[in-house]
């Protein structure tokens, strides 16, 4: 029986999809959430195999306490799923500085806090999985979500380097990059006004907001199927380093990487010409 530690436990989201998949496989799960009352009735059906932990991922002390509580209850954490996060929209030039910092606190620094809290136990046991929920926005910057994309790009780099650092210690790391999935992530845009300090960007941001509202409830991705794909990837003899989820995400990722390769190769002579001349 494995122990999972899942952040961002929101009904209808990836967090609960991970928890239910693990529980259906006979495992036990610690789920963190800012609103524990939403999960108590759900958790009762699983008895003592579920531990609900009130936690704000941006509070480092609370993160450390939650990880210790899970380890004390279950004896250790085998699979960490860094799932908590969300995106706010705004222009690169005009998003308020406080909102930029809030974006990185939630989507980047909080992830580091959870990883750092869970790694000592994994290192001591010589095994473990770290699943980082990134995004296709971590491979292709999205207009209107520039700082969200930047935080996810940063997560991609951290995940890649971490994978190499902890592999000799018996710990595996996987970046998961969903496209558009039918979670509650888009639901708040209808009630969220555009907060922008520079009027020139308002038309673009209004289009972004309208598109998010229009897509809510119509996203092609199924969180339950997405989680099953992650579990299948983990079970492969040679697990992948990253897993793009959803057809739209796959097409976007492939097109982005191919376009980047074409762009790099088109300037190969300029790139190589920047070296000192050969002796």
Beta-carbon contacts of 160 under 8 Å, excluding residues fewer than 6 positions away, are 175, 241
CA–CA separation, 226 and 83 (whole Å): 13
What are 244's strand-pairing partners?
177
Beta-carbon contacts of 246 under 8 Å, excluding residues fewer than 6 positions away, are 178, 179, 180, 181, 220, 221, 226
Three-class SS state of 221 = strand
Rg (CA), the chain: 20
Tell me the catalytic residues: 134, 148, 152
CA–CA separation, 17 and 99 (whole Å): 29
């Amino acid at each position: 029986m494995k122990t999972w530690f899942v952040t961002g436990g929101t009904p209808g989201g990836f967090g609960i999809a991970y928890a239910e998949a693990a529980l259906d496989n006979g495992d036990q799960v610690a789920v963190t959430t800012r609103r524990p009352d939403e999960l108590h009735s759900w958790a009762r059906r699983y008895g003592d195999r579920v531990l609900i932990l009130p936690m704000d991922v941006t509070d480092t002390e609370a993160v450390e306490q939650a990880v210790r509580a899970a380890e004390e209850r279950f004896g250790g954490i085998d699979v960490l799923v860094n799932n908590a996060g969300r995106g706010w929209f705004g222009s690169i030039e005009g998003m308020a500085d406080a909102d930029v910092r809030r974006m990185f606190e939630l989507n980047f620094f909080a992830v580091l806090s959870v990883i750092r809290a869970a790694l000592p136990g994994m290192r001591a046991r010589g095994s473990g999985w770290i699943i980082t929920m990134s995004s296709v926005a971590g491979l292709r910057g999205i207009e209107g979500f520039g700082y969200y994309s930047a935080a996810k790009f940063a997560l991609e780099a951290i995940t890649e380097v971490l994978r190499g650092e902890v592999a000799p210690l018996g710990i595996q790391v996987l970046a998961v990059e969903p496209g558009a999935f039918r979670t509650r992530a888009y639901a708040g845009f209808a009630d969220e006004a555009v907060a922008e300090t520079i009027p020139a960007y308002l038309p673009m941001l209004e289009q972004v907001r309208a598109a998010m509202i229009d897509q809510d409830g119509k996203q092609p991705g199924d969180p339950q199927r997405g989680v099953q794909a992650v579990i299948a990837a983990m079970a492969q003899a040679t697990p992948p380093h990253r897993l793009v989820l959803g057809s739209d995400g796959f097409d976007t990722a492939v097109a982005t990487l191919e376009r980047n390769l074409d762009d790099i190769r088109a300037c190969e002579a300029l790139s190589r010409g920047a070296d000192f001349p050969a002796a």
